[in-house]
A = this chain, B = another copy of it.
Amino acid sequence: MNETEVWLEQAIRMARENAANGDGPFAAIVVRNGEIVGTGVNRVGSEHDPTAHAELLAIREACTRLGRTDLSDCTLYASGEPCPMCMGAIYWAKPGAVYYACSKAEAADAAGFPDPLGSFYAEMSGPAEKRTIAVRRHDAQGKLEPFFVWASR
């Protein structure tokens, strides 16, 4: 069993336990130099927090522990395929590699697990007015000021 499988199987065990405890069937681990620097399990149900996904929590824990937002010397292992929100977090933290065990399609086919964001990428690449959730730009006084303050720091 190679290193990737060792960490993925640990994430899977954490995900199984989390599901047995009544929360989402997902877990993630961030590893650096063979050591765990961050873990996360899905807490959406227990905390009523739609952002409490395993990958996002594991990235947060690793970054705050290491004191930096860059995880390029780390690897992220996730029990399931990252959702678009977690992909965004992955792009910001830039782990050197990302591995996941179970794809969205496998989870759907084998256990009927829903993927309500399946259309997300298609939606986002299409026109704003055709999206399920309208995201509109609206002009407002001083909108550039925060950026000017940022630029003058």
Contacts and interface: CB of A to CB of B under 8 A. Distances in A.
Interface string A75-97: 00001111111111111111101
A136 B8 CA distance: 12
Contact of A146 (B16, B103, B120): B16
Given A81-B137, A136-B97, A63 B88 contact: no
Contact of A69 (B4, B50, B88, B132): B50
Contacts of A27: 146
A101 B67 CA distance: 31
Contacts of A24: 150
A149 B51 contact: no
Contact of A106 (B120, B138, B144): B144
A129 interface: no
Given A12-B141, A63-B50, A69 B44 contact: yes
A36 interface: no
A49 B20 contact: no
A125 interface: yes
Contact of A92 (B50, B87, B101, B113): B50
Given A85-B89, A88-B86, A139-B101, A12 B146 contact: yes
B5 A138 contact: yes
